[in-house]
Amino acid sequence: MLRYAVIGLSVNALLYAGYLLLSASGIGPKLAMTLMYATGTACSFVGNRRWTFEHRGSVPAALFRYIVTYALAYVFNLVTLMVLVDAAGLPHRWVMAALILVSAGLIFLAQKYWVFPGRAALTA
C-alpha cells in the first residue's frame, strides 16, 4: 500500500497540476480530465506493475486488465463530473480533487486483486 501511495501521490499531484493548468488555460474540465487521465494511465502501469505489486505474470494480460480498470474508472469520473459539476453546479476543482481520492482507493483494490494478482489473490 505504501508503494502504491508513493506512485499514486506523485503521479496524481503532477496530473492534478496539469489539470488545473489546462482548465485555467480555457480547456473545459472534462477534456482536461481526459487528457490527464490518459497520461496518468500510461505512466503508472510500469511503476505499479514492477514496483508496487511486483507482478511477474503475463504483461499483455495485465495490461488489458489495467486498461479495463482505468476505462471503468474514467467513466465513473466523467459521469460524476457531469452530475456534480454540470448538473449540480459544484466547483470542478473540488470535485476532481475528491474523485482522485475515491478513484485511487477503488483502483488499488482492482489492481491488487485483479490486474496484478499475487499468489494470495489467486488462491483466495
Return the closest-CA partner of residue 1 out of 51, 44, 37: 51
Q: What is the pLDDT of residue 47?
A: 84
Computed over every residue of the chain, the mean pLDDT equals: 89
Asked if 46 and 119 count as a contact pair (C-beta separation under 8 A), the reply is no
Residue-wise pLDDT for 36-83, tens only, equals 988 888 888 988 898 889 899 999 999 999 999 999 998 999 999 999
Q: How confident is the model at residue 122 (pLDDT cuts 50, 70, 90)?
A: very low
